[in-house]
């Protein structure tokens, strides 16, 4: 029996860190992956691109909101939070440092290392005559028909520049055919044009040679301005506020409102200007003025202004030794020789740990449900599924076969709105019941319910998961999923769908905790129960794995549990506003972050509960939006065998990861000293669940 820790010390400093700085701290850990020479070279390049993609969304959403708060004079919701002006200033300072280090790493380490491997990105000065001739022909044939140069004069004002598009600002001198004397022009690169061009072997026989679209445009842009003298051409890119504005109190048709709002995303307020290094000061000031930005919003980059587009390069290069080794996801033993999935599920619950275990059986489950004549109804939530989803095709097929198909489509899944609108239309065309969730609440729960006639009764089969119904991300994200025919759980999921599609009061379910109704209170009760056990001198332990931790009441409950003597181990991939290890506040809390080959995405909540060991998997992070503005589900794992698997694979393995990052009280992270031969949690799970053949 442990001795409870009691303290009279009261912590008087800031109890919460700024979430925006937490996001930047996460991206610093992503950059560290790109800097880690133990990571395969092309994967290091991929991590650099992931960082750029992350920063794009960070500026489009988080920084845009900060700037809006500053402009409108709005403070944050809580009095003890820093002023938006202060947070924005710190965000700008740290973002500039992060981007500078990103490009230093690209130019000083990644590009030279790729060159030594025979993979080169050629600047114009490096082209030989044959390569120049090939690229000129490519420019005339593939690019000129799509380009529209815009000379700036009173009849041609500064054009509308699309969010995150590639553009050239051109400095000119001379008069055109109409006698106009404009000294500035803009050339926008159409999004259809590939940003990375691979030279054919006949002009690049000595290895793989790539040329960036920017280089080709800069080399030959003079052909678009005949008779004019090109003084200089300077790539730039503007990032805009991409959050959608929908007045939910005024919406009568969410689908129509969203269709009207989506096109405006490309033209929101400017929040960041990226310009290639070497751009003259007067051009920088001209562009800043056009986009109504300040010097703090300007990012001078020594290289491509859009590193995200280099993400395709590792897939273009067939060099396995420069990438993570391939693996073959395993299939749970219960399904290895089980053509009838319904029979296999009836024998016992089946747990999946993706991507180490295959997502294919989940697809097969829906395939069998769609074609099985005894299946009478299918209900599924859709958050992210992709533009070419086999799962959606099976739902369409099921509806065509006359089954009752109900799909709750979340139209406001950020940056997946257009794909979800398309699938909603296709489902409606074949007679499926399509519901767009509940206005004001995103449907984020991952649930699939199949109703099958077996003899004289109807039996329910359920799949629930911490991740999306997206086959591609199931190979990249770590998630847990469960297939079950448990009667009580089937009834709960059916009730959850009734609440989503119909009307009526919410009521407590038998097993599931459902946000926004019972999840937050249920988690608070579990944390407080551990506090009571600790105060009684009993062993008390909380382990929670999630993407983000920012919800204040849960953090306050964790602080109180720490003061009561509860051992608290948190595995938080991304932003965390809790301060760990602070005497008098959180000395019993440790926060670990694991960044690796796969994106950590599973949410697992463990409470010792005086030896009963309560384990839940969930779609929800510990954020206000997940607890109060989303439909989320937490599923208790009751099978002792599966519970032990989740504790071992999803929690203990990560806590023992000797390559993980430990969060410090000030919000910074320190990596554990890496010993020779150390393997990260993901490598251990690959060896356990998907061993090399």
Three-state secondary structure along 242-282? CCCCCCCCCCCCHHHHHHHHHHHHHHCCEEEEEEECCCCHH
Alpha-carbon distance 354 to 110, whole Å?
30
What's the angle, vertex CA 501, arms to CA 421 and CA 449, rounded to 5?
85
- Cis link prior to 515 (omega < 30° from 0)? no
Hey, how many other C-beta atoms are within 10 angstroms of the C-beta on 370? 22
Q: How many CA atoms lie within 13 A of 314 on its CB side?
A: 19
DSSP state of 77: S
Contact 481, 354 (CB under 8 A): yes
Tokens of 64: 């845009």
Instruction: Give the pLDDT of residue 259.
Output: 45
At 386, is the secondary structure helix, strand, or coil?
Answer: coil
What dotted CATH number matches 333-507? 3.30.870.10
Alpha-carbon dihedral sign for residues 35, 38, 39, 45: positive
**Looking at domain 19-322, what is its CATH homologous superfamily?**
Polyphosphate kinase middle domain (3.30.1840.10)
The phi-psi region of residue 609 (left if phi > 0; otherwise alpha if psi is between -120 and 50; otherwise beta) is left
DSSP state of 153: B
Which residues, 6 or more positions from 544, have their beta carbon under 8 angstroms from its beta carbon?
569, 570, 571, 604, 605, 606, 622
Alpha-carbon Rg for the chain in angstroms? 27
Q: Of 96, 156, 433, 444, which is the active-site residue?
A: 444
Phi, psi of 558 (to 5 degrees): -65, -40
Instruction: Give the pLDDT of residue 4.
Output: 36
End-to-end Cα, the chain, rounded Å? 46
Phi, psi of 117 (to 5 degrees): -90, 5
Tokens of 158: 């500064």
Q: Given strand 167-173, what is the order of strands in its sheet?
A: 149-151, 184-188, 167-173, 229-240, 270-276, 298-301
Hey, how many other C-beta atoms are within 10 angstroms of the C-beta on 508? 12
Contact 602, 591 (CB under 8 A): no
Task: Quote the strand ranges of 279-369, DSSP E.
Answer: 298-301, 350-354
Domain 514-689, classified CATH 3.30.870.10, yes or no:
yes
Alpha-carbon distance 655 to 525, whole Å?
24
Phi, psi of 492 (to 5 degrees): -60, -45
Contact 576, 599 (CB under 8 A): no
Instruction: Give the pLDDT of residue 246.
Output: 38
Phi, psi of 667 (to 5 degrees): 95, -10
Q: What is the rounded (10 degree) CA torsion for 591, 597, 602, 607?
A: -40
444 catalytically annotated: yes
Contact 185, 156 (CB under 8 A): no
DSSP state of 318: -
Alpha-carbon distance 678 to 693, whole Å?
22
Model confidence pLDDT, tens digit, residues 79-126 = 677 888 999 999 999 999 999 999 999 999 999 999 999 999 999 999
Domain boundaries, the chain: 19-322, 333-507, 514-689
Instruction: Give the pLDDT of residue 382.
Output: 86
Alpha-carbon distance 313 to 326, whole Å?
17
pTM for the predicted model, two decimal places: 0.90
Instruction: Give the pLDDT of residue 20.
Output: 94
Instruction: Give the pLDDT of residue 180.
Output: 61
Label residue 157 exposed, middle or buried (CB < 10 Å: 0-12, 13-18, 19+): exposed
Which residues, 6 or more positions from 246, have their beta carbon under 8 angstroms from its beta carbon?
254, 257, 258, 261, 412
Instruction: Give the pLDDT of residue 177.
Output: 59
Contact 596, 520 (CB under 8 A): no
| Helix or strand (DSSP H, E) at 138 | helix 129-138
Low-confidence residues in the chain, pLDDT < 70: 1-13, 79, 154-156, 176-181, 244-267, 386-387, 411-420, 437, 503-504, 506, 676, 692-693
Per CATH, 19-322 and 333-507 having the same topology is answered: no
Which residues, 6 or more positions from 336, have their beta carbon under 8 angstroms from its beta carbon?
none
């Amino acid at each position: 029996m442990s001795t409870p820790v009691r303290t009279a010390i009261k912590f008087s400093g800031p109890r919460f860190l700024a979430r925006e700085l937490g996001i930047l701290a996460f991206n610093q850990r992503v950059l560290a992956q790109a800097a880690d020479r133990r990571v395969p070279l092309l994967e290091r390049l991929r991590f650099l691109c992931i960082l750029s993609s992350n920063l794009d969304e960070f500026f489009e959403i988080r920084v845009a909101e900060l700037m809006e708060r500053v402009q409108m004079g709005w403070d944050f919701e809580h009095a003890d939070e820093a002023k938006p002006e202060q947070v924005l200033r710190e965000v700008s300072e740290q973002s500039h440092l992060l981007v500078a280090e990103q490009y230093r790493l690209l130019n000083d380490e990644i590009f030279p290392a790729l060159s030594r491997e025979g993979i080169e990105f050629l600047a114009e000065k490096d082209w030989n005559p044959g390569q120049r001739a090939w690229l000129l022909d490519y420019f005339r044939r593939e690019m000129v028909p799509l380009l529209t140069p815009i000379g700036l004069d009173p009849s041609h004002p500064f054009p509308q520049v699309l969010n995150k598009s590639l553009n050239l600002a051109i400095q000119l001198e001379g008069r055109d055919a109409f006698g106009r004397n404009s000294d500035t022009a803009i050339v926008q690169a159409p999004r259809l044009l590939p940003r990375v061009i691979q030279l054919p072997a006949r002009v690049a026989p000595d290895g793989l040679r790539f040329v960036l679209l920017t280089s080709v445009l800069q080399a030959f842009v003079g052909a678009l301005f005949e008779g004019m003298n090109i003084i200089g051409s300077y790539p730039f890119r503007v990032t805009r506020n991409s959050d959608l504005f929908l007045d939910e109190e005024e919406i009568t048709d969410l689908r129509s409102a969203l269709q009207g709002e989506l096109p405006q995303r490309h033209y929101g307020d400017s929040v960041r200007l990226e310009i290639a290094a070497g751009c003259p000061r007067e051009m920088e000031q001209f562009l800043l003025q056009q986009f109504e930005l300040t010097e703090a919003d300007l990012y001078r980059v020594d290289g491509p202004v859009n590193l995200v587009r280099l993400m395709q390069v590792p897939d273009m290069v067939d060099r396995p030794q420069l990438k993570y080794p391939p693996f073959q996801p395993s299939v749970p033993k219960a399904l290895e020789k089980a053509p009838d999935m319904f029979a296999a599920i009836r024998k016992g619950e089946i747990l999946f740990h993706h991507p180490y275990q295959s997502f294919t059986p989940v697809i097969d489950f829906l395939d069998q449900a769609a074609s099985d004549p005894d299946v009478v109804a299918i209900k599924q939530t859709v958050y992210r599924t992709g533009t070419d989803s086999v799962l959606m095709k099976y739902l369409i097929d099921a509806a065509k076969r006359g089954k009752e198909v109900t799909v709750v489509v979340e139209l406001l899944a950020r940056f997946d709105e257009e794909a979800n609108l398309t699938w909603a239309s296709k489902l409606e065309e074949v007679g499926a019941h399509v519901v767009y969730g509940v206005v004001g609440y995103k449907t984020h729960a991952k649930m699939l319910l199949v109703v099958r006639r077996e003899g004289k009764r109807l039996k329910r089969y359920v799949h629930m998961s911490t991740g999306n119904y997206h086959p591609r991300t199931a190979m990249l994200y770590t998630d847990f999923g469960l297939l079950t025919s448990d009667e009580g759980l089937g009834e709960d999921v059916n009730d959850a769908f009734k609440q989503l599609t119909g009307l009526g009061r919410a009521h407590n379910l038998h097993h599931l905790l459902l946000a926004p109704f019972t999840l937050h209170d249920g988690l608070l009760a579990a944390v407080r129960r551990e506090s009571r056990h600790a105060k009684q001198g009993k062993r008390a332990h909380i382990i929670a794995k999630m993407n983000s931790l920012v919800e204040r009441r849960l953090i306050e409950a964790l602080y109180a549990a720490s003061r009561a003597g509860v051992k608290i181990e948190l595995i938080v991939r991304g932003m965390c506003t809790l301060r760990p290890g602070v005497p008098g506040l959180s000395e019993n809390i440790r926060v670990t972050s694991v960044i690796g080959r796969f994106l950590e995405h599973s949410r697992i909540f463990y409470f010792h509960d005086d030896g009963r060991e309560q384990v839940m998997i969930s779609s929800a992070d510990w954020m206000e939006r997940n607890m109060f503005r989303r439909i989320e589900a937490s599923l208790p794992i009751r099978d002792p065998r599966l519970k032990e698997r989740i504790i071992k694979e999803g929690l203990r393995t990560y806590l023992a990861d000797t390559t993980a990052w430990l969060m410090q009280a000030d919000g910074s992270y320190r990596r554990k000293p890496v010993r020779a031969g150390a393997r990260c949690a993901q490598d251990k799970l690959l060896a356990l669940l998907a061993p090399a053949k």
